[in-house]
Amino acid sequence: MMSGEPEAGNQLARWSGSFADLSLFDQCAVAELVKGGGAIQGSVEEILPRLRRTRMITVLRKGEGGRIIGVGALKAPLQHYRQSRFANAGASIVGFEEAPELGYVVVHSDWRGQRLSGDLVKAIAEATHESVFATTDSNTMRNNLTRSGFMRLGTDWQGSKAPLSLWVLDMRRSQS
């Protein structure tokens, strides 16, 4: 578990760790935020088990112990899901066969436009020591991924809402 310092000027505190380390109240708050941001469809009760399977979660709070206003996670996707993402992009999965997926990045609507989602992506990228992948249909997220060292891989494909792109953070390259 890692603690973040309050972000300068914003009076925000960042925390990263296991979803299970959050209180039940905070777990429900995270699920509500993820639901409200459209990162996962379904009820809070349906979202909670998916959040419990994450490898790591990062939250932004309004002050120490305050309301959670942002979230991002390293997900543990099933093998067939991971394989399909790389296949859809026409990209090789070599080096990413067991990679977690960065996702569930949501900032409360009252706090958008302050680059907080970029702070979440950066915090997760800096905390991981393994290769990671992400998929997105959002230009904001594409910019966040680029700023955090992710590289676009393969070609776009049609997602349920818009064209998706595949992004990777290859820790094998950054260690050499």
The pLDDT tens digits of the residues spanning 39-50 come to 888 999 999 999
Q: Dihedrals φ, ψ of 95, to 5°?
A: 90, -10
Q: Dihedrals φ, ψ of 102, to 5°?
A: -75, 130
Tokens 């436009």 found at: 113
Q: What pLDDT is recorded for position 160? A: 87
Name the average pLDDT for the chain: 91
> Which pTM value belongs to this model?
0.88
Q: Does domain 2-174 have CATH number 3.40.190.10?
A: no
User: Mean pLDDT in runs of 10 for the chain (176 residues)?
Assistant: 42 94 97 92 94 96 91 96 97 96 95 93 93 95 96 95 94 62
The pLDDT tens digits of the residues spanning 72-109 come to 999 999 999 999 999 999 999 999 999 999 999 999 99
Please state the domain extents for the chain. Answer: 2-174
Q: With contact defined as beta carbons under 8 Å apart, do 137 and 163 qualify?
A: yes
Q: What pLDDT is recorded for position 5? A: 39
Task: Assign 3-class secondary structure to the chain.
Answer: CEECCCECCCCEEEEEECHHHCCHHHHHHHHHHHHHCCCCCCCHHHHHHHHHCCCEEEEEEECCCCCEEEEEEEECCCHHHHHHHHHHHCCCCCCCCCCCEEEEEEECHHHCCCCHHHHHHHHHHHHCCCCEEEEECCHHHHHHHHHCCCEEEEEEEECCCCEEEEEEECHHHHCC
